Amino acid sequence: MTETIHETVVIGSGPAGYTAAIYLARSNIMPLILEGPVPGGQLTITTDVENYPGFVDGILGPDLMERMRDQAKRLGATIMSATAISLRNNAAPFELEIEDNLGRAGLIKAKTLIVATGASARFLGLPKEQELMGYGVSACATCDAAFYRDKHVAVMGGGDTAMEEAIFLTRFAKRVTLIHRREGFRAAQVMVDKARANAKIDWKLNYIVVDMQGTAKTGLESLTLENTLTKEREQFDCDGLFVAIGHTPNTEFLGDKIAKSESGYILTSHDTTTNIPGVFACGDVADQVYRQAVLAAGRGCMAAIDCKNYLENLG
């Protein structure tokens, strides 16, 4: 029996992964896509996407990803509901240990890999955080905002995601307090201005969350805040906390086989090539600055072209 060695396996299914698959398929390289634990990536937990070109009135994040998925599939890509667990080697044919959505293990081989696994939300690391996850603590306003209708919620963070979460939550919550460790923000000024203009958003600047009160039975009851300037602490009553403090690139399955930045993002050259010949990276897994869907899609296109050229040069 002949062992299957795929021409290309695309690991990840956000804008970068799907776009790479679309371009590969149109080049007559029919890729296998490993969808990963969150099919569609971060955009599936986003509501209105108004900055993706071509949609005059905007589009819902899940709808955009469904369109990309359907397009990749129509053009010939094979989609597998599985997650890459480990890369066994650093030379072709690459061996990937995988696990499907039923927990079954497997092994697939490929001549080339495109890593588009994105980045996952980062949490505070407080003792109560995981206990209260889903009981007052969340990292996804789109998923959980409806549970806080007419309640008081807090958002922790100072980037674009924090502003977006706070603004979205005002559709449901009676009051939203944005907590940030300093007075300046990483968020784009237009996002800060939009949040400032929302009368339902209060601001708690120069503060961090150092503890939480509540149980899975009672839900989150309050937060302990610490002033970053004076170190004084105070109790802050609220019904929910949405953590929006950044993301961690999903590169654990690669181990130390691939070159990464200090913060774990895959290092690429001016194109999408990595230190391993035949392995390419695109999207948020290799972008710690912009993290935008349109840029991820563009880099997915680049990865597909780089991959196609590499395969052609193999002869």
Q: Do residues 177 and 152 touch, judged by C-beta distance below 8 A?
A: yes
Model pLDDT for residues 125-181, shown as the tens digit of each residue: 999 998 998 899 998 887 788 899 999 999 999 998 899 999 999 999 999 999 999
Give the pLDDT band of residue 288 (cuts 50, 70, 90): confident
Q: Name beta bridge partners: 204.
A: 179
Helical ranges in 174-281 per DSSP H: 189-196
Residue 65 CB-half CA count within 13 A: 23
Domain boundaries, the chain: 5-120+247-314, 123-243
Catalytic residues: 140, 143-144
| Residue of 134 and 77 predicted with greater confidence | 77
- Confirm whether 5-120+247-314 and 123-243 share one CATH topology: yes
Q: Do residues 190 and 166 touch, judged by C-beta distance below 8 A?
A: no
Q: Do residues 264 and 80 touch, judged by C-beta distance below 8 A?
A: no
How far is CA 289 from each of CA 25, 145, 166, 190, 280, rounded to the nearest angstrom? 29, 27, 21, 17, 19
For residue 17, pLDDT over 90 is answered with yes
- For 129, the token pair is 């955080």
pTM score: 0.77
Q: What is the distance between the alpha carbons of residues 83 and 92, in angstroms, rounded to a whole number? A: 20
Kindly state the average pLDDT of the residues 109-132: 93
Residue 284's region, left for phi above 0, alpha for psi from -120 to 50, else beta, is alpha
According to the CATH classification, is domain 123-243 in 3.40.50.300?
no
The structural architecture, per CATH, of the domain 5-120+247-314 is: 3-Layer(bba) Sandwich (3.50)
For residue 197, pLDDT over 60 is answered with yes
Three-class secondary structure of residue 182 per DSSP: coil
- For 45, the token pair is 């937990």
Q: What is the distance between the alpha carbons of residues 105 and 215, in angstroms, rounded to a whole number? A: 36
Closest of 128, 87, 125, 137 to residue 278, by C-alpha:
87
Give the pLDDT band of residue 1 (cuts 50, 70, 90): very low
